[in-house]
Amino acid sequence: MKDFSNVSRAATCASGVILESCSPESVVAKRRDSVQKPYGMTSVWGGRTMGAGFTLIELLVVVLIIGILSAVALPQYQKAVTKAKFTEAITNLKTIAEADKVCQLGGGTDKWGQCSITDLDITIPGTETDKYCGNPSIETKDFVYWASSDCCGYAHATVLYKKEDVCLCYDHNDEGNEEITVYSDGVISTPPSYDYAKLLNLPEGSCCCG
């Protein structure tokens, strides 16, 4: 049996009805249009560019927003990091003070009945040193710790924040109660970056360290 499909197709094309099979270009165009364009991209056909870029004003607005967020978020982040460091330091300070009280009840380790931090039955991660006022201390990355045998010889435990001239002391207050106080005078270094008494929610007092 003869195949009259070509004859029928030719007749249809001749009658002015354009089929896909009559025009190869239409097939290409249809396939081209069926390709999904990426979101936000314009067609390359018709002399148009592939991507629509940002304007200078849009870029400036983005940069401005990033700058504002950084100016607000960065100081808060730094404050949170500093507070976290002191939280660990206060824990170590309490540990030293409790061990120092036990040591003093046993007569202490020096002629004044006070105790060196290196003689206490505790472990504070750090390096033993005497470069701060000549008395034994434990130095960590951010802090220096003493027991009652410190630079002044009265507090059960003292810690110095090396970055700034800030001390915490664990001792008896005027009412005879034990407490941790914050002291900062800005003499050794520049004035403190924060109000440490407010940051740590501790009373201000008079400490001697370093």
* One pLDDT digit (tens) per residue for the chain, 210 residues: 445 445 455 444 445 444 445 555 554 455 555 555 554 444 444 444 555 678 989 899 999 898 888 888 888 898 899 999 999 999 999 999 899 888 888 877 676 678 888 888 888 889 998 877 777 889 999 999 988 876 665 678 888 898 887 888 888 666 667 888 888 765 555 667 888 888 989 888 777 665
99-105 LR contacts (CB < 8 Å, sep 24+) = 99/147, 100/147, 100/148, 100/156, 100/157, 101/156, 103/147, 103/148, 104/148
Both tokens of 112, joined, read 């004044």
Q: Which 8-state DSSP code applies to residue 44?
A: S
For the sheet with 127-129, list strands across it.
Answer: 127-129, 137-139, 143-146, 157-161, 166-172, 178-184
Tell me the DSSP string of 148-194. Answer: SSSSSS--SEEEEETTTTEEEEEEE-TTS-EEEEEEE-SSSSSPPSS
**What does the alpha-carbon distance between residue 175 and residue 194 come to, in Å, rounded to a whole number?**
28
> For residues 116 and 149, is the Cβ–Cβ distance under 8 A?
yes
pTM: predicted TM-score of the whole model, two decimal places: 0.63
